[in-house]
Amino acid sequence: MKIARLFPPLLFLLLLPALATAAPGLVPKPPALAAKAWLLTDYHSGQVLAERNADERVEPASLTKMMTAYVVLSEIEKGTVGEDDEVPVSEKAWRMQGSKMFIEVGKRVPLHELLKGMVIQSGNDASVALAEHVAGSEDAFVDLMNLYARRLGMTHTHFANATGWPHPDHYTTARDLARLAAALIRDFPEHYGLYKEKEYTWNNIRQFNRNRLLWIDERVDGIKTGHTESAGYCLVASAKQNAMRLISVVLGTASDKARATASRKLLNYGFRFYETFLLHRADEPLTEMRIWKGEKEMLPLGLAEDLWITIPRGQRKQVKASMSVDTQLMAPARKGEPHGEVVIRLGDRVIAKKPLVALEDVPEGGLWRMLVDSALLLFE
């Protein structure tokens, strides 16, 4: 590998006047919360800003419905079900206890209305009706939930139902819930607005979203509450301030008010003491390297994903970027193949690493190019 100097696109970004700040500020310890577990993470960079017992197994209660929604929306995207489907209400769905949308057995309800009843009203009846429509039965739907969970990297999660009803084999962690929250925002932006709706009326029954942060903090636009006697009061919240979006997970508090207070403390801490910015966009060249025996002499290298970083406020001048690249690049090259690494440091600490990938295909050159480059390589 060959080490390259700070490359121009990042150097340009880091020297922008807008990025200049005063002397670095101090960052206090995260707030202590009266909860079983919690986690605060930045949506764009994925950096964890505060955590406690984030990998401890907990009951998700109605936070489960985040995964129920993720599966339903995924199947809509695949075309296996449609938002305008008329979903029959089974007796099992109608008889569900706990929070309800109050759908009626034997009637048909549009799928998009059931989504509202599940997300806004946390309806257990709506959750089961959706599960049965998507997979034929709730048991089969649960299999889909666990498959999608593994695909998302939720390695410490297992679902036993679509509602969050207590079950010994139904568990998750704060870290896995944050991962799921980020996936909902990233994969279904056109549906994410549903999570900030404050109320919904069905069957002439008006119910309010249980996420009280929607009323007291204009930055908050989701996501889901949960509560059972054994799980306590839980809340996965997301809030956006300027270009920065945070996700907080608070599990096992003593009351509705306590979960809102704890979540707001985390969000305030993150927004006050940290900042997130885009360092470099995907698919934009960071450098070009000589590629041998190819149709072209130069191969542009860049990132496969946008590079966001989260750092303490006032420390942008401390950010340094460097990269290492393969010593010799030989054709053929395929777009997306790694040929090095980008390393971002805050002072002496590495805060991000990303593969440096080919941004285009370069096939092998003709016979003449192969002969010429083979000769040149003898002197390289």
Verify whether residue 45 is a known catalytic residue: no
Quote the pLDDT of residue 169.
Answer: 98
Tell me which of 62, 99, 238, 248 is the catalytic residue: 62
Count of beta carbons in the 10 Å neighbourhood of residue 357: 23
- For residue 49, which of 315, 231, 233, 245 has the smallest C-alpha distance? 245
Tell me the percentage of the chain whose pLDDT exceeds 70. Answer: 92
The domain made up of 2-18+281-377 is a member of CATH 3.30.470.30: no
Tell me which of 45, 90, 99, 122 is the catalytic residue: 122
What whole-number distance in Å separates Cα of residue 327 and Cα of residue 186? 36
- Six-digit token pair at 223? 């996501």
Tell me which of 36, 65, 100, 265 is the catalytic residue: 65
What average pLDDT does the segment 302-330 reach? 94
Quote the pLDDT of residue 274.
Answer: 97
pLDDT for residue 369 is more than 70: no
- In contact, 41 and 250? CB cutoff 8 Å: no
Please provide residue 286's backbone torsions phi and psi, each rounded to the nearest 5 degrees: -100, -30
Verify whether residue 353 is a known catalytic residue: no
What whole-number distance in Å separates Cα of residue 62 and Cα of residue 126? 12
Share the mean pLDDT of the chain: 92
| Model pLDDT for residues 256-270, shown as the tens digit of each residue | 999 999 999 999 999
What average pLDDT does the segment 5-16 reach? 39
Q: Which pLDDT band, with edges at 50, 70 and 90, does 293 fall under? A: confident
Please provide residue 44's backbone torsions phi and psi, each rounded to the nearest 5 degrees: -75, -50
pLDDT for residue 7 is more than 90: no
| Model pLDDT for residues 14-46, shown as the tens digit of each residue | 333 333 333 455 899 999 999 999 999 999 999
Q: Which residue has the higher pLDDT, 292 or 43?
A: 43
What whole-number distance in Å separates Cα of residue 243 and Cα of residue 21? 17
Give the range among 77-86, 178-187, 366-375 with minimum mean pLDDT.
Answer: 366-375
Count of beta carbons in the 10 Å neighbourhood of residue 136: 10
pLDDT for residue 59 is more than 60: yes
What average pLDDT does the segment 226-230 reach? 97
Count of alpha carbons within 13 Å of 58, Cβ hemisphere only? 33
Quote the pLDDT of residue 368.
Answer: 77
| Model pLDDT for residues 111-164, shown as the tens digit of each residue | 999 999 999 999 999 999 999 999 999 999 999 999 999 999 999 999 999 999
pLDDT for residue 4 is more than 70: no
Non-local CB neighbours of 63 within 8 Å, separated by 6+ positions: 164, 172, 177, 224, 225, 226, 234, 236
Verify whether residue 99 is a known catalytic residue: no
pLDDT for residue 13 is more than 50: no
Please provide residue 341's backbone torsions phi and psi, each rounded to the nearest 5 degrees: -150, 140
* Boundaries of every domain in the chain: 2-18+281-377, 47-231
Query: What pTM was estimated for this model as a whole?
Result: 0.89
Quote the pLDDT of residue 375.
Answer: 72
Options 3.40.710.10, 3.40.50.2300, 3.30.420.340, 3.40.470.10; CATH of 47-231: 3.40.710.10
Count of beta carbons in the 10 Å neighbourhood of residue 25: 12
Peptide linkage before 189 cis (omega within 30 of 0) = no
What whole-number distance in Å separates Cα of residue 276 and Cα of residue 18? 14
- In contact, 256 and 210? CB cutoff 8 Å: yes
Quote the pLDDT of residue 22.
Answer: 35
What whole-number distance in Å separates Cα of residue 314 and Cα of residue 312? 6
For strands 48-52 and 338-346, give the pairing: unpaired
Give the range among 50-54, 202-206, 349-353, 363-367 with minimum mean pLDDT.
Answer: 363-367
